């Protein structure tokens, strides 16, 4: 059963941000290892995270579990907008990592007056590419080709971060594109290309990389005007408590930054 909203106010103390951004000086001691002794009683950390973070956070979850024997990290990946609504409605979560400040704001705005919530920390940036099938049957080479006759395009729904970014990028190019499908998260949008159901889609560059060659990515200049910042925060009174803050520490640490940049994210 969902718990009351008051249990899920955001809490990210300044000390946590400083510790995470500073990282650790060497090797595998960063983030998780240095604090593994504290909060050892927690057995499970529940992380709600944007679908585009699936690969990187799954990897960081394994790192965290290795540094905290007996603790399991459980993920709920999906559209940031959907996850934010679930949290507002009382879904039990310890950490929220969103694909845009706007979706994080949905949660912070819903916090009760007088909340001691701190500001979420930005930990990554991502931008769009055009994803096309490996053989690119529609011969899409640039953004304006998406508006061409007969070109089947998939976009994320506008209310989710990848869709909002697509609207900005297309607006910057002065283009009107009518998609054949609007998907609820970036993974579903990319799948349409992988299955050959569409000729092209606008997805994050990290998802193109994660496809492992199933699709080809095409960069375009207007993507620079639609970059998404990714914020992360613990949720106040989260069951995992200190362990949740330690997971955020890991994401903000140099070890976390290395995992993110390897996947194609930019880090602040």
Asked if pLDDT for residue 114 goes beyond 50, the answer is no
Which of 144-148, 188-192, 234-238 is predicted with the least confidence, judged by mean pLDDT? Answer: 234-238
Residue 238 pLDDT: 77
Residue 21 pLDDT: 33
Q: Residue 232, SS3?
A: strand
Share in percent of the chain as helix, strand, coil (round to 5):
40, 20, 35
For 247, the enclosing helix (H) or strand (E) is: helix 242-252
Residue 4 pLDDT: 35
89 touches 81 (CB < 8 A): no
Domains annotated for the chain, with CATH where assigned, are 5-125+229-262 (3.40.190.10), 128-225 (3.40.190.120)
Asked if pLDDT for residue 18 goes beyond 80, the answer is no
Enter the pTM of the model.
Answer: 0.81
What's the chain's average pLDDT?
84
State the DSSP string of 76-117: EEE-HHHHHHHHHTT---SEEE-SSHHHHHHHHHTSPTT---
Tell me the two tokens of residue 105.
């704001």
87 touches 96 (CB < 8 A): yes
Tell me the two tokens of residue 154.
């998939």
| pLDDT: which is higher, 242 or 122 | 122
Q: Mind listing the pLDDT tens digit for each residue in 30-71?
A: 333 333 333 445 589 999 999 999 999 999 999 999 999 999
Q: Mind listing the pLDDT tens digit for each residue in 203-254?
A: 999 999 999 999 999 999 999 999 999 999 998 767 888 899 999 999 999 9
**Among 245, 250, 259, which Cα is nearest to 94's?**
245
Q: Residue 50, SS3?
A: strand
């Amino acid at each position: 059963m969902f718990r009351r909203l008051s249990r899920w106010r955001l809490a990210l103390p300044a000390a946590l941000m400083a510790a995470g951004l500073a990282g650790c000086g060497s090797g595998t001691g960063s983030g998780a290892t240095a604090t593994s002794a504290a909060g050892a009683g927690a057995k499970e950390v529940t992380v709600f995270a944007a679908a585009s973070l699936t690969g990187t956070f799954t990897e960081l979850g394994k790192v965290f579990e290795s540094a905290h024997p007996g603790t399991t990290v459980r993920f709920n990946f999906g559209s940031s907008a959907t996850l934010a609504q679930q949290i507002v409605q009382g879904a039990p979560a310890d950490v929220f990592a969103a694909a845009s400040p706007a979706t994080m704001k949905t949660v912070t705005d819903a916090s009760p007056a007088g909340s001691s919530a701190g500001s979420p920390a930005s930990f990554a940036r991502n931008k769009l590419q055009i994803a096309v099938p490996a053989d690119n049957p529609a011969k899409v080479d640039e953004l304006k080709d998406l508006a061409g006759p007969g070109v089947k395009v998939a976009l994320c729904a506008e209310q989710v971060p990848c869709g909002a970014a697509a609207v900005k990028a297309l607006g910057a190019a002065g283009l009107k594109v009518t998609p054949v499908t609007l998907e609820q998260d970036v993974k579903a949008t990319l799948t349409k290309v992988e299955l050959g159901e569409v000729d092209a889609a606008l997805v994050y560059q990290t998802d193109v990389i994660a496809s492992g060659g199933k699709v080809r990515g095409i960069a375009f200049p207007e993507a620079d005007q639609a970059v998404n910042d990714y914020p992360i925060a613990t949720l106040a009174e989260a069951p995992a408590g200190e362990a949740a803050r330690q997971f955020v520490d890991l994401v903000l640490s140099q070890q976390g930054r290395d995992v993110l940049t390897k996947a194609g994210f930019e880090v602040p």
